[in-house]
Amino acid sequence: MTATGQARRPLIVADSMTAGYELERERKLLTALEGVSLTVHEGEFLVLVGPSGCGKTTFINVIAGLVKPWAGTVTFDGKPIDGPGEDRSMVFQDYAIMPWRTVEHNIQLPFELRPHNFSKAEVAEKVQDIIEDVGLVGFEKSFPYELSGGMRQRVGLARAMVTQPKVLLADEPFGAVDAMTREVLQAQLEALVMNAGQTVVFITHSIDEAIALGDRIAVISNRPGKVREIVEVDMERPRLAEGEITSHPRYGELREHLWNLVKDEALGAQDAHHDDSETTGDPRLDRLSTSPATTMDPGI
Amino acid sequence: MTQKVNSQEPTSKKSTDGAALTAQPRIKDAEWTWARIWTRYRFAIVTVINLTVFFIIWQLLAHFEVIGPHLIFPTFTDTLRALKIGWLGGQADDGTSFELLRDFVIAKNAWESLQRYAISMFIAIGIGIPIGLAMGGFKWVDAILSPYVWTLSSLPRLAIYAPLVMIMGIGESIKYALIILTAIFPVIINTWAGVKTTEQSLINAARVFGAGRAQIYKKVVLPYTLPFVVSGIQLSLSRGLIGVVIVEFLTGASTLGGLGWLIFRSASAFNSALTYASLMSLAVFALILVQGTRSMEAKIAPWRQVSKT
Ligand SMILES: Nc1ncnc2c1ncn2[C@@H]1O[C@H](COP(=O)(O)OP(=O)(O)O)[C@@H](O)[C@H]1O
Ligand SMILES: [Mg+2]
């Protein structure tokens, strides 16, 4: 997994890529990333850190094929990215698992959405295997609302890994999970990924998490985001299987270096004013409560 | 084998609570004290006392004609008698009752109303859901229908009865049209709101894992919208009931105009016992309807209940 020293094959290549959003209500364009050039090598674990609102999610969404860049190119395996593909899976910050599906049905969703050649029994076996890998045994028939945040993200992770994708994209997957569960999940992720030899692009706002997981750490500057520096983490794996990673001799140096980089950016950050509550921008909806049992209907 | 045991764990976790209760040695009958009976049945006891007091006060008020003469305010016992004749038959024989109070008169009119109500609701829900889905899913459908839906749904429905009656007269079809118009909007608006508020991150997840437009609708938007539709239906059901009563109030039928008609007709004929008997019948039906549909959303979409708290 540590690709250092081996011949590294570029897998995802962003070349002076610019991306952003049309703000419909304010009728203007918002540039999230400007001229980003970054290469993700096959089999590496690349971590993106940077101040909030600098465009990390946008970058990972471009790779996922959810957001189209305005300018520049992003290629996957030499071909321009045009929409999502089965070689790329994603773990979301807010889990994004279907609340009406049980754990096992959530995890088997990728097999329902894309054509494949596996029999029903084979799919069931893959689902069961990954359930064991992420530690969800006994919760196959549970619904997400019956699970803790950490358990929910295990479902998200299992759903992303069940198809053994070439690339795993993870957008602050453990951001909303409590510290203890987070360490367990990090170790689990490291083990899973080392096992399958996946390429990973992982976003975090935690420097410790970045050092714990990353082969390389790309520090993104303030919006519009650019790659400010790439830091190699020259620490052998597995790092999280046992013992405290913080006692590693390289740890302190790396942490300080990264902290200085990130601190500059964080201090310079303008407040990103896009609220994450996905509004539809429809004023009629604002007057409705999100609870379905209310309408403005006056009755008779 | 181990998998099988494991897979039952979450459900058995719930049932163990119940099992633990039954597994415990039962408290012997001898230990049934008044305090115990009280803690267990206090709600039922209070309700019985409450209603008894209510009916006694009613009886006294009517008997001594405090509120008005019997023509206006019937005794509880007269109302019970009207209920019995109206539902179960047994002609009034003391000559005091008015022409309207005939055997089964409430039952027949209730059946009339129920049919009208059921058909109208069936149509209202049957066209309301597709309209809501189409408005939520297609921008241009939304743009075209939106002015009508929002104007009509904000307007007190009673106001559009007059022009509609002018056009169609008081035939049977106008009754259905008015009830449907009264009831349909909560279904439309809730369905629309469900589609519109479907979480973007769930849609993104579906796209990442390969969903096209049709699959996004089938696998994300529709399941997400279902609980919205259900509570829209709940609201529409009670709106529809209002519609039935008003429509029957407006119709000038001479016989068998429905339960709403019977209430108003008997009142204008000063058969107050029949009015109150019909009203009580309607109240019981409405109560059953509301209570019956109340837990519908919780059953269909338990995740919404939890995320609300
Ligand atoms: N769907 C969207 N519509 C409009 N603006 C957005 C949207 N998503 C993100 N943005 C804006 O783009 C910028 C970058 O956002 P994002 O990529 O989410 O940053 P990060 O993940 O680094 O916090 C922010 O200013 C944010 O407000
Ligand atoms: Mg983000």
Q: Is the pLDDT reported for residue A187 higher than 60? A: yes
Contact B206 A113 (CB under 8 A): yes
Instruction: Please name the residue of chain B whose CA is at the shortest distance from the CA of residue A88.
Output: B208
Residue contact A64–B154, C-beta within 8 A: no
Could you identify the atom of ligand 1 that is nearest to the CA of residue A54?
Answer: 22
Mean pLDDT, rounded, for B178-206:
95
CATH number for position A131: 3.40.50.300
CATH H superfamily, domain B105-308: MetI-like (1.10.3720.10)
Determine what percent of chain A is predicted with pLDDT higher than 70. 86
Do A66 and B208 lie within an 8 Å CB cutoff?
yes
Q: Which of B201, B246, B304 is nearest residue A92 as measured by Cβ atoms?
A: B201
User: How much distance in Å is there from the Cα of A122 to the middle of ligand 1?
Assistant: 39
Residue A156's domain comprises 42-53+83-274
> Which residues in chain A have their CB less than 8 angstroms from residue B211's CB?
113
Q: Report the complex ipTM.
A: 0.88
**Domain-wise residue ranges, chain B:** 1-13+21-61, 105-308
Instruction: Please indicate, yes or no, if residue A34 is contained in any of the structural domains.
Output: no
Phi, psi of A163 (to 5 degrees): -90, 5
Mean pLDDT of chain B: 84
The predicted pLDDT at position A249 comes to 81
Question: Which pLDDT score, from 0 to 100, does residue B89 have?
Answer: 83
What band does A84 get if pLDDT is binned at 50, 70 and 90? very high
Residue A268 lies in a domain: yes
Q: Is residue A291 situated within a structural domain?
A: no
Which residues in chain B are contacts of A299 at CB distance < 8 A?
156-157, 239, 242
Q: Which of B16-25, B34-43, B280-289 has the highest mean pLDDT?
A: B280-289
- The answer, as to whether pTM is greater than 0.90, is no
The residue among B145, B131, B304 whose CA lies nearest residue B226 is B304
Q: Is the pLDDT of residue A218 over 70?
A: yes
- Residue A193 backbone zone (phi > 0: left; psi -120 to 50: alpha; other: beta): alpha
When divided into structural domains, chain A yields a total of 1
Does some domain include residue A251? yes
Task: Note whether A99 contacts B307, CB cutoff 8 Å.
Answer: yes
Averaged pLDDT, A206-225: 91
Q: Could you tell me if A200 and A230 are in contact, meaning their C-beta atoms sit under 8 angstroms apart?
A: no
**Hey, what are B241's tokens?**
């009931």
Whole-number pLDDT of residue A270: 54
Please tell me the distance between residue B207's alpha carbon and the centre of ligand 1 in angstroms.
Answer: 19
Token pair 């629309």 in the structure block, residue: B192
Q: Which residue has the tokens 């549970």?
A: A142
In a domain, A215, yes or no: yes
- Say what the pLDDT of residue B17 is: 42
Q: Is A57 in the pocket of ligand 1 (CB under 6 A)?
A: yes
- The pLDDT assigned to A142 comes to 96
Task: For the beta carbon of residue A279, count every other beta carbon within 10 angstroms.
Answer: 13
Mean pLDDT of chain A, nearest integer: 87
Nearest residue, CB atoms, B6 vs list A92, A138, A280: A138
Q: Where are the alpha helices (DSSP H) in B8-104?
A: 9-23, 34-63, 76-88
